[in-house]
Structure 1
């Protein structure tokens, strides 16, 4: 969930800054990209803030990404998705409604990221895996409170060192992961921009839509006002998706499905 600032969602809400976007991936590649985006956004926020606790959190998120990359072939899946996108856009070259200059620019941008991602000497996360401090933190991070000052004195020393030095280390570690971030971002940007929002109604707090085989949909986006009294839960697969709206007056009680009709903006995105 995140605030939307693209300015594209204007069918229901006059100001995009007043809306909240809920997203649901419908395949594994979209799930991977959204998880990576979530982690990278946290890292960038930590680097910008510059404090001790923010630096600790940024390092932890980098280690999460390294673990994620080591457990699944994320690099290979990102490469396949970028190659697929290039094929789709090249198929539009004879379409008179497509701006050829913008098409060339888009394909060149995707190809540049793909080339860096597939480079034989590019091993994302290798810098962190070779770093002694990062390895000490990795060994303790799964233990509740395991990175306390007495558990990892080297981390305590680093966190209390010159902020400029911490920032330098974080930037160097992040540079090693930057191509993965760029790949995930360009994939998500292209998918999110593939569809315009339309205003629909969830009758009795429930909405369902079939996915037409001729219309790709790999990401469902629901836009709601930030002050809405309900929130959506989205679920789906290859053939259909559903949106159920819930209200929760207190975090101490279980949420209940909203009985009223709910009007919202919907995007069915896919390339």
Structure 2
């Protein structure tokens, strides 16, 4: 989910036309690079894909299953799995760009990308917009198999649960016993009319949900009055 968060922000800033937008996009790309350096990232996503494929196959002989939809879902998983299993490190093509890697090192230094520290980056920012857009698209492209894998896995996981109506009790806490069932994700929806956010904790026995909000001094305040919300337990 952290990778999904980084990619969403990356795409939002890539669409910007100013050098400042692309500066933020590059900082996000470098964060994704650092995340990919952890060996378990790719293996973890591939394991989730294999688990989802196996679980979907179990539905093949279910009398009410839509086989076309099932085959399409499994096909999507196979597609992203093959792309993600490519040789070498994720984003290897971008890592082989010496100038880009030198720029990455400067991003790690506060203020290290000033025109005094790395004038070539300043010159790049003054280049035509279409050149900058083309370059940054090329640098992001090697990481797209990772984005596709994360997107497909999370999409199927989120769609595996159906929202139900729920609410906290007096004191502001909701509690649900799991009864031995195992879930990979809990989703919560609240009304847009209230600027509140959920805090979720869980173990193999029970899930707790409570809500908080920020006051005018940006201090967290626990909401102790009953709060209605929607809840979904997800597992593939």
Quickly name the TM-score band, shorter chain normalised: over 0.9
Instruction: Indicate conservation of the 8 Å contact 2:94/2:140, yes or no.
Output: no
2:11 equivalent to 1:44? yes
Identify the residue that residue 115 of structure 1 maps to in structure 2.
Answer: 82
Identify the residue that residue 176 of structure 2 maps to in structure 1.
Answer: 209
Q: Tell me the SS of whatever aligns to 1:227.
A: coil
2:138 equivalent to 1:172? yes
User: For structure 1, which segment, 202-211 or 83-92, has the greater mean C-alpha deviation from structure 2 after superposition?
Assistant: 202-211
Instruction: Indicate conservation of the 8 Å contact 1:208/1:241, yes or no.
Output: yes
Unmatched runs of 5 consecutive residues or more in structure 1: 1-33
Instruction: Indicate conservation of the 8 Å contact 2:215/2:221, yes or no.
Output: no
Q: Tell me the SS of whatever aligns to 2:215.
A: coil
- Tell me how far 1:180 sits from its aligned partner: 0.3
Q: Tell me the SS of whatever aligns to 1:71.
A: coil
After superposing on structure 2, the runs of 4+ consecutive aligned residues of structure 1 that deviate more than 3 Å are none
Identify the residue that residue 230 of structure 2 maps to in structure 1.
Answer: 265
Identify the residue that residue 220 of structure 2 maps to in structure 1.
Answer: 255
- Tell me how far 1:128 sits from its aligned partner: 2.2
2:38 equivalent to 1:71? yes
- Tell me how far 1:258 sits from its aligned partner: 0.9
Q: Tell me the SS of whatever aligns to 2:183.
A: coil
Aligned residues between the structures: 235
- Tell me how far 1:65 sits from its aligned partner: 0.9
Q: Tell me the SS of whatever aligns to 1:268.
A: strand
- Tell me how far 1:237 sits from its aligned partner: 3.7
Give the 5 Å matches for 1:161-200.
Answer: 161-200=127-166
Identify the residue that residue 53 of structure 2 maps to in structure 1.
Answer: 86
Q: Deviations over 1:146-197 (max 9, x none)?
A: 2222122121111221111111111111110000000000001001111111
Q: Tell me the SS of whatever aligns to 2:60.
A: coil
2:108 equivalent to 1:142? yes
Identify the residue that residue 232 of structure 1 maps to in structure 2.
Answer: 198
Distance in 2, matches of 1:200 and 1:210, equals 13
TM score, norm. by length of structure 1: 0.82
TM score, norm. by length of structure 2: 0.93
Question: How has the CA–CA distance of structure 1 residues 235 and 158 changed in structure 2, closer, same or farther, with 3 Å as cutoff?
Answer: farther
Unmatched runs of 5 consecutive residues or more in structure 2: none
2:52 equivalent to 1:62? no
Distance in 1, matches of 2:201 and 2:123, equals 45
2:125 equivalent to 1:151? no
Distance in 2, matches of 1:264 and 1:177, equals 36
Cα RMSD for the two superposed structures: 1.5
Distance in 2, matches of 1:122 and 1:95, equals 40
Instruction: Indicate conservation of the 8 Å contact 1:128/1:173, yes or no.
Output: yes
Distance in 2, matches of 1:240 and 1:182, equals 32
Question: How has the CA–CA distance of structure 1 residues 148 and 211 changed in structure 2, closer, same or farther, with 3 Å as cutoff?
Answer: farther
Highest RCO, 1 vs 2 (Cα 8 Å, sep ≥ 6): 1
Question: How has the CA–CA distance of structure 1 residues 237 and 140 changed in structure 2, closer, same or farther, with 3 Å as cutoff?
Answer: farther
Identify the residue that residue 223 of structure 1 maps to in structure 2.
Answer: 189
Instruction: Indicate conservation of the 8 Å contact 1:208/1:243, yes or no.
Output: yes
- Tell me how far 1:229 sits from its aligned partner: 4.3
